[in-house]
């Protein structure tokens, strides 16, 4: 349902968040359903805005899409699309599934996604690319 809400935000309000991360989500229960609330719209922009073409990368590195991480040049200029926000949701799900919270690995959990948190944008991009395309067997054995 979260993707549905994000899609409606994009289609109806014409808004791109540009910083979906664990720290920008709030979770609560309503009856037997989890409710997810997207917070912190300070980097958001409308889809028809000139600001949609960013002069620098926006977001939180562990959750940035691969396109945003690999944006060319030191400024990281790129045009933000809804697919970048959707990919950020994908990385949030993986992050949470591997035992992380907004600050990093939970106590007692291995730091399997350390490469998503440490290093420059290109190193983080390469780590995510490897994770998506060919997950190392050592990572699978740790699950």
pTM score, whole prediction: 0.82
Q: What is the pLDDT along the chain (143 residues), one digit of tens a residue?
A: 555 677 778 888 888 899 999 999 998 888 998 888 899 998 888 887 655 556 667 789 999 999 889 886 566 677 888 899 999 999 999 999 998 988 889 998 899 999 999 989 899 999 999 888 865 555 555 55
DSSP track, 66-116: HHHHT-STTTT-EE--HHHHHHHHHHHHHHHHTTEETTEEPTTS--TTGGG
């Amino acid at each position: 349902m979260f993707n549905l809400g994000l899609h409606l935000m994009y289609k109806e309000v014409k808004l791109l968040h540009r910083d979906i991360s664990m720290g920008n989500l709030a979770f609560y229960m309503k009856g037997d359903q989890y409710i997810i609330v997207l917070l912190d719209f300070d980097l958001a922009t409308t889809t028809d805005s000139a600001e949609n073409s960013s002069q620098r990368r926006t977001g939180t590195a562990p959750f940035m899409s691969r396109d945003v991480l690999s944006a060319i040049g030191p400024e990281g200029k790129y045009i933000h699309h809804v697919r970048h926000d959707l990919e950020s949701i994908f990385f949030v799900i993986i992050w949470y599934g591997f035992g992380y919270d907004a600050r990093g690995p939970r106590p007692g959990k291995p730091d399997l996604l350390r490469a998503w948190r440490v290093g420059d944008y290109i190193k983080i991009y390469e780590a995510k690319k490897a994770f998506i395309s060919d997950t190392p067997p050592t990572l699978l054995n740790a699950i």
